[in-house]
């Protein structure tokens, strides 16, 4: 019997357990990615957990090992690439008799330029909470989604470029939510965002609003410039 994908409640439960373990070890962390978007109210069902742990070290493998050491439902497997030095982290999910193994992938990242995602280091006081789970503030989360769209559209592999449709849907919904809650660059609670992070987001926005001009006024209302402003310069 083919296994069922993780349900949204299961993904939230895995997220809470991972956060609990890192918190007990004294680490600040929060969700980003599709699960964080869903916690804010987007409609696409996530299928994994993306967690950023705010540490000064570069050893994500050590951070991964903390989870199976604390809870045996977490486990590590070798990467598919035989040359890779990293492990892939999973969480074992309940299954019914005859069903294939069910599991939820858990990605652990650290902030800063050491990763291609360039996740900004968030001061603990500004981490949001949704359903008891810490999440990246909505504006940085939206900008990371924009980065994901840009990365996917420029990818050499077709299967990665195909993800643009989901990115655009997530961005559209998250943009509407961000506007409704009054997220703006001028707000004091995002003044910690690094300048380089904002600058790169603005560059991506010129291309995004060129392709999706109807979203321009929404981005402008949050303090960004859109493609029409670039034309007038």
Distances in Å between the alpha carbon of 167 and those of 56, 72, 109, 148, 170? Answer: 30, 33, 20, 7, 5
Q: pTM for the full model? A: 0.91
pLDDT of residue 190: 85
How remote is the C-alpha of 215 from its chain's centroid? 22
pLDDT, tens digit, 9 for 90 and up, residues 10-69: 999 999 999 999 999 999 999 999 999 999 999 999 999 999 999 987 789 999 999 999
pLDDT of residue 217: 93
Place of tokens 């769209």: 149
The closest of 68, 62, 60 to 18, measured between CA atoms, is: 68
pLDDT, tens digit, 9 for 90 and up, residues 155-211: 999 988 998 999 999 999 999 999 999 999 988 888 899 888 899 999 999 999 999
* pLDDT confidence bin for 114, thresholds 50/70/90: very low
- CA-CA distance, 183 to 224, in Å (whole number)? 12
Geometric angle at alpha carbon 34, from 157 and 79, rounded to 5°: 55
- CA-CA distance, 214 to 141, in Å (whole number)? 21
User: Max alpha carbon distance in the chain (Å)?
Assistant: 65
User: Under a CB-based contact definition with an 8 Å cutoff, are residues 29 and 53 in contact?
Assistant: yes
Place of tokens 């300048």: 195
């Amino acid at each position: 019997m083919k296994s069922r994908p993780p349900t949204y409640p299961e993904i939230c439960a895995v997220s809470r357990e991972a956060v609990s373990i890192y918190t007990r070890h004294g680490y600040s962390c929060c969700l980003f990615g599709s699960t964080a978007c869903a916690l804010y109210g987007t409609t696409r069902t996530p299928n994994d957990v993306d967690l950023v742990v705010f540490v000064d070290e570069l050893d994500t493998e050590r951070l991964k090992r903390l989870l199976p050491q604390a809870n045996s439902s977490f486990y590590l497997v070798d990467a598919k690439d035989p040359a890779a030095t990293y492990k892939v982290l999973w969480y074992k999910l309940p299954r019914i008799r005859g069903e294939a193994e069910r599991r939820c992938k858990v990605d652990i990242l650290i902030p800063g330029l050491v990763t291609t995602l360039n996740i900004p280091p968030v001061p603990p006081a500004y981490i949001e909470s949704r359903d008891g789970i810490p999440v990246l503030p909505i504006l940085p989360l939206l900008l990371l989604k924009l980065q994901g769209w840009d990365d996917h559209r420029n990818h050499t592999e077709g299967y990665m470029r195909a993800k643009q449709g989901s990115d655009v849907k997530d961005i559209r919904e998250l943009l509407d939510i961000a506007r409704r809650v009054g997220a703006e660059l001028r707000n004091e609670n995002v003044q910690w965002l690094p300048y380089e992070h904002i600058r790169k987001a603005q560059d991506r926005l010129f291309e995004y609003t060129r392709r999706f001009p109807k979203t321009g006024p929404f981005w402008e209302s949050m303090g960004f410039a859109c493609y029409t402003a670039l034309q007038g310069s």
